[in-house]
Amino acid sequence: MGMNKHLYLGPYVECPCTDRSPWRYDIVGDEMSDMDTGDESILILIPNVTRDGSPEREIDWDCTWQVDLQKVDMAAEMNWLRNAFAVEIAALEKAYGSVAFRWGLLQEYS
C-alpha cells in the first residue's frame, strides 16, 4: 500500500475542535474538505469546489508543482474564501464558536 501526499497552497479556515465537536460533513458537506495536520485541537477546512472569483491558479496538488508566490494576492484569496463560502462559514461559526482565516501551505499524507 503506497502513501499519497496532498499539498494545498491558499486560503483556509481553522475551527477549534474537541472530541464533542460536530462532524464537519454535517455542517459543510462536500463543499469544503478537511486537512489532517496531526493537531486534533483544530479543524482545518479548504475549499473543495470552484466558485465565482476563485483563484486562477492551481491551489490543490497531488503531484509535482511550482507556483510563483510573487504573483499571488493572498488578501484577495482570503476575501474570496470569506465571500464565496459565507453560508458554510456562518454554519461553522455557529457549530464551533469561532473561525479563523488563514493562508498558507498545508501538507497531508494518506
37 pLDDT above the threshold of 80 = no
Three-state DSSP class for residue 46: strand
Give the tens place of pLDDT for each residue, 62-106.
566 677 788 889 999 999 999 999 999 999 999 999 999 999 988
Residue with cell 472569483: 53
For residue 109, being part of any structural domain is answered with no
H or E element, residue 20: none
For residue 40, being part of any structural domain is answered with yes
Q: Per the structure, how many domains does the chain have?
A: 1
For residue 19, being part of any structural domain is answered with yes
For residue 110, being part of any structural domain is answered with no
Q: Could you tell me the residue range of the domain that residue 49 belongs to?
A: 5-104
Alpha helices (runs of H) in the chain, residue ranges in sequence order: 24-28, 74-84, 86-96
